[in-house]
Amino acid sequence: MFDISIPALMGQLLVGLINGSFYALLSLGLAVIFGLLNIINFTHGAQYMMGAFVAYFLLNKLGLNYWWALVIAPLAVGATGVVIERLMLKQLYKLDHLYGLLLTFGLALIIEGIFRNEFGSAGLPYSMPEVLSGGFNLGFMFLPKYRAWVIVASLVICLSTWFLIERTKLGAYLRAATENPALVQAFGINVPRMITLTYGFGVGLAALAGVFAAPIYQVSPQMGSSLIIVVFAVVVIGGMGSIMGSILTGFGLGVIEGLTKYFYPEASNTVIFVIMAIVLMFRPQGLFGQR
Amino acid sequence: MNFKLKAIVAAAALALTAHAAQAQISGNVVKIGVLNDQSSLYADLGGPGSALAAKMAIEDFKAKEKGLTVEVVSADHQNKPDVGSQIATKWIDSEGVDVIVDVPNSGVALAVNQIVRDKGKVFINSGAASSDLTGAKCSPNTVHWTYDTWMLANGTGSAIVKRGGDTWFFLTSDYAFGHALERDTEAVVLKAGGKVVSKVRHPLNTQDFSSFLLQAQASKAKIIGMANAGGDTINTIKQAAEFGIAKGGQNLAGLLVFLTDVHGLGLDKAQGLILTNTFYWDQNDGTRAFAKRFAAANGGKYPTMVQAGVYAGVLHYLKAVAALKSDDGTKVVAKMKELPTDDPLFGKGTIRVDGRKIHPAYLVEVKKPSESKGPYDYYKILATIPADRAFRPLADGGCELVKK
């Protein structure tokens, strides 16, 4: 069973990295939202799905291609996020985390239900942009161009987000506002608006991941719900709220999952949760989290 | 006053006759429970469409005019055997459900099969594929209507081996259905002189198949047999195109592909796939009329063979109930086996002693986009497998109901 061939293993590692880039993008958005708003955003999967659907509609109703979708979908879905934050989440900041979780979970079920009712569960096809179809023959595997693009794009986005929050003045304001909103407000910064925009940004990241996913997977209402639980495990392992933690764990776990699919495929959808259980036992704050 | 009295007498008389007609019907209502996946990867091929099909069967049977009160309830088993078992038990024990229909996902179907048998009710399976339901796990209370893994293997598997696809790699959904389909197809491939190079099992409802496709490529098998269904099949086919499977000289064999899967993929991705089914809407006037009516009430989505099987199964069940004037489960199934079947969707047929419904199967090829003339015009029929050869011979199933 364990006849390991190096080329096959290299292929699996690369494929793992590709999946990891989705995990990283999604868990990054979650980490930003949790770190700065203290909201456990269970709507994230639904927002990822909405991003893919926006891409589908842009292409099929308005004739706007993939590259437009990369810009418009995050803005459009991010805007719905802003509305949700203003109308609903805002009321919950003073309460326990649990209320935010319940609200966003309920919203996710409603959104997915509406989409399923409208579009069915088999989903809709989204074709790959012409430039990115085809692939490279790496000798040990055939790497589709599109997947290579997803890895690169997601790395760039993840690292710039990290830079924005951890290394710029704006990021410093944001972090300060979560520590002590009253004080930051006293310095003349509009904290509520900043928080609203942060939620919109996190949601936009989810939508962007959705656009990345559209050509690979079927654009279907349940595409988010099958991913969101794994992504939560990634966030928990990385440490709730840690930006770099969620990026590294996202990529890392993608690789581990890829290897599991090679050595023992039956366990490939549980391996991440096994790791989560172990991490919680020995380091409850997560690998990169601080107490 | 006089008018009122008349009305009361009339009502009483009506109630009496109605009562007489329904003496043997439990609770005076025949209650049909449609149990399937209503929210996940199998929801389009069965789902709410199956409940609609059951209601259409009741309408077409003209149950009311025959003095039968028939109700339909439906529920989502979420592809979890424990959830499905709970619903089935609750339906039968406290809600007076007489017959459970559809139940795609063989894992859930095998659980429901046992519960219905223990409680002496009726199970008309359309959605689940495992041939064990009329083999090792056969039951006097179960009818397996639409298709099964043996039929799929026999149809698609042997057609592909005949076309030169003699080395196989199996990509199998890791539960009862996938295992049964892989087993039955492997038997056909080996019997036809083919070889199985390797196999891999993936969890149900997987998004990303790239790892498995890389393994399939490395195996160098000519045929990648997809022993999975619904959303899993769709994702496999999409991603196989991306990884250049066809360009590398390997071919995909969709062992179970539904009309809704082809619709979800689009013809440009699905064209050329060879598959076996037992119902296609564009076969004759009867099927076309049904499909048009069904689609109008189903948001434009055409019926799959699973939904067609629910319609035909319910229709035949009601005929048996009416003939027997009873809804006693075990007796009704015996009556269903005794009566020849006849419906507009599957034509004339029979139900064997092991519960297997017998009708022809069709080997079809998915059309090219240029060949398709309208919505859901997807298949051309390559061959008809006659009813007596479409399903596993009675003696081979190992069903205890078959006298040796």
Report the pLDDT value the prediction gives residue B21, as an integer from 0 to 100. 44
Letter for the amino acid at B16?
A: L
Report the pLDDT value the prediction gives residue B3, as an integer from 0 to 100. 56
Letter for the amino acid at A49?
A: M
Report the pLDDT value the prediction gives residue A54, as an integer from 0 to 100. 96
Q: Do A15 and B210 count as a contact with CB atoms less than 8 A apart?
A: yes
Query: Which pLDDT tens digit goes with each residue over A108-160?
Result: 999 999 998 888 777 888 888 889 988 888 887 888 999 999 999 999 999 99
- DSSP sequence for B128-180: ---GGGGTTT--TTEEE-S--HHHHIIIIIHHHHHTT--EEEEEEESSHHHHH
- DSSP sequence for B349-392: EEE-TTSBEE--EEEEEEPPGGG--STT--EEEEEEE-HHHHS-
Q: Do B231 and A121 count as a contact with CB atoms less than 8 A apart?
A: yes
Q: Do A121 and B42 count as a contact with CB atoms less than 8 A apart?
A: yes
Instruction: Give the residue from chain B lying closest to A140, CA to CA.
Output: B218
What is the rounded CA–CA span in Å between residue A223 and residue A112? Answer: 9
Instruction: Give the residue from chain A lying closest to B231, CA to CA.
Output: A122
What is the rounded CA–CA span in Å between residue A103 and residue A43? Answer: 9
What is the rounded CA–CA span in Å between residue B29 and residue B27? Answer: 5
B210 touches chain A (CB under 8 A): yes
Tokens standing for residue B173: 């959904």
State whether B328 and B194 are in the same domain: no
Residue A1 has pLDDT above 50, yes or no: no
Instruction: Give the residue from chain A lying closest to B299, CA to CA.
Output: A118
Tokens standing for residue A251: 């990529």
Report which DSSP code applies to B226: E
Work out the percent of chain A whose per-residue pLDDT is above 90. Answer: 50
Query: Which pLDDT tens digit goes with each residue over B81-127?
Result: 999 999 999 999 999 999 999 999 999 999 999 999 999 999 999 99
Looking at beta carbons, which residues of chain B come within 8 Å of A11?
Answer: 214, 218
Q: Residue A75: which of A206, A216, A193, A163 has the closest Cα?
A: A206
State whether B355 and B371 are in the same domain: no
Between residues B308 and A246, which one has the greater pLDDT?
Answer: B308
Indicate which of A10, A112, A121, A222 best probes the interface with B, i.e. most B CBs within 10 Å of its own CB: A121
What is the rounded CA–CA span in Å between residue A282 and residue B394? Answer: 58
Q: Do residues A34 and A241 touch, judged by C-beta distance below 8 A?
A: yes
Looking at beta carbons, which residues of chain A come within 8 Å of B199?
Answer: none
Report the pLDDT value the prediction gives residue B4, as an integer from 0 to 100. 60
A144 touches chain B (CB under 8 A): yes
Q: Do residues B390 and B360 touch, judged by C-beta distance below 8 A?
A: yes
Report the pLDDT value the prediction gives residue B27, as an integer from 0 to 100. 82
Looking at beta carbons, which residues of chain A come within 8 Å of B206?
Answer: 268-269
Report the pLDDT value the prediction gives residue B404, as an integer from 0 to 100. 64
Question: CA of B9 to nearest chain A CA: how many angstroms apart?
Answer: 48
State whether B209 and B271 are in the same domain: yes
Q: Do residues A34 and A205 touch, judged by C-beta distance below 8 A?
A: no
Tokens standing for residue B285: 């006037």
State whether B113 and B167 are in the same domain: no
A-B contacts at Cβ under 8 angstroms = 118
Domain map of chain A by residue range? 21-118+128-221
Domain range spanning residue B175? Answer: 150-277+361-390
Beta bridge partners, A135, equal A144
Report the pLDDT value the prediction gives residue B17, as an integer from 0 to 100. 46
How far is Cα of residue A159 from the mean position of the Cα atoms in its chain?
14
Containing A119, the helix (H) or strand (E) segment is: helix A97-119
Q: Residue B359: which of B145, B134, B140 has the closest Cα?
A: B145
State whether B154 and B301 are in the same domain: no
State whether B243 and B373 are in the same domain: yes
Q: Do A217 and B207 count as a contact with CB atoms less than 8 A apart?
A: yes
A135 touches chain B (CB under 8 A): yes
A258 touches chain B (CB under 8 A): yes
Q: Do A216 and B265 count as a contact with CB atoms less than 8 A apart?
A: no
Total of domains in chain B: 2
Q: Do B218 and A8 count as a contact with CB atoms less than 8 A apart?
A: yes
Report the pLDDT value the prediction gives residue A291, as an integer from 0 to 100. 59
Which positions of chain B have pLDDT values less than 70? Answer: 1-23, 404
Q: Which long-range contacts (CB under 8 A, 24 or more apart) does A3-9 make?
A: A5/B218, A6/A140, A7/A139, A7/A140, A7/A141, A7/B218, A8/A140, A8/A262, A8/B214, A8/B215, A8/B218, A9/A259, A9/A262
Q: Who contacts B237 (Cβ-Cβ below 8 Å, separation ≥6)?
A: B226, B252, B254, B265, B269, B270, B273
Report the pLDDT value the prediction gives residue A6, as an integer from 0 to 100. 78
Tokens standing for residue A114: 């509406």
Q: Within a domain: residue B351?
A: yes
State whether B214 and B246 are in the same domain: yes
Query: Which pLDDT tens digit goes with each residue over A15-60?
Result: 899 889 999 999 999 988 888 888 889 999 999 999 999 999 999 9
Q: Within a domain: residue B204?
A: yes
State whether B180 and B260 are in the same domain: yes
Question: CA of B290 to nearest chain A CA: how many angstroms apart?
Answer: 20
* CATH number reported for the structural domain that contains residue B376 in this entry: 3.40.50.2300
State whether B327 and B355 are in the same domain: yes
Tokens standing for residue B345: 């969707």
B214 touches chain A (CB under 8 A): yes
- Average model confidence (pLDDT) across chain A: 89
State whether B174 and B156 are in the same domain: yes
Q: Do A269 and B206 count as a contact with CB atoms less than 8 A apart?
A: yes
The pTM score is 0.84
A146 touches chain B (CB under 8 A): yes
Least confident of A75-84, A266-275, B76-85, B337-346: A266-275
Report the pLDDT value the prediction gives residue B384, as an integer from 0 to 100. 94
Interface of A with B in 194-233 (CB under 8 A): 216-218, 220, 222-223, 226-227
State whether B78 and B111 are in the same domain: yes
Q: Do B243 and A144 count as a contact with CB atoms less than 8 A apart?
A: yes
Interface of B with A in 264-283 (CB under 8 A): 264-266, 268-269
Between residues A217 and A199, which one has the greater pLDDT?
Answer: A199
Helix (H, G, I), strand (E, B) or coil at B221: coil
Instruction: Give the residue from chain B lying closest to A129, CA to CA.
Output: B242
Report the pLDDT value the prediction gives residue B1, as an integer from 0 to 100. 44
Phi, psi of B355 (to 5 degrees): 95, 0
State whether B289 and B203 are in the same domain: no
Helix (H, G, I), strand (E, B) or coil at B328: coil
